[in-house]
Amino acid sequence: MERNISRRAILKGGLIAGTLVPALGLLNKGRAASAIPPLDSKDPTANALGYVEDTTKVDNNANPTHKNDQRCDTCAQFKPSAGEARGACNIFPGKSVANAGWCKTWSKKS
């Protein structure tokens, strides 16, 4: 069985696909931010940098320069996820950190 497909049908299909692919990519991008696994505080890098999920629970004797207003969501390394309690961090690639978290690399956003 031989099918004849017109150029008009091919162009129409190409235009539809050309608009749907970027739109689907945008939808998937929103899901990807919340799909980043959380950083485990037992992770060797997290442990070495004193990462905690709650800045108010930092051992101030071990970290004398720490202040309770130093939170991941106010750090220059933090990349927030809109409406989420966690976000990405340049220090811990591929893992999400708590907005209220803290580690020794904290530096104020400019």
Residues 6+ apart with CB under 8 A from 34: 81, 84, 86
pLDDT, one tens digit per residue, over 77-104 is 999 988 899 999 999 999 999 999 999 9
Measure the CA–CA gap between 35 and 44, rounded to whole angstroms.
22
Structure token digits, residue 87: 């976000």
Domain boundaries, the chain: 1-35, 37-110
More confident site: 95 or 9: 95
Task: Name the fold adopted by 37-110.
Answer: High-Potential Iron-Sulfur Protein; Chain A (4.10.490)
pLDDT, one tens digit per residue, over 14-69 is 777 777 767 666 555 544 445 799 999 899 999 999 999 999 999 999 999 999 99
Of the candidates 107, 94, 81, which has an alpha carbon nearest to the alpha carbon of residue 45? 94
| Torsions phi, psi for 52 (to 5 deg) | -135, 150
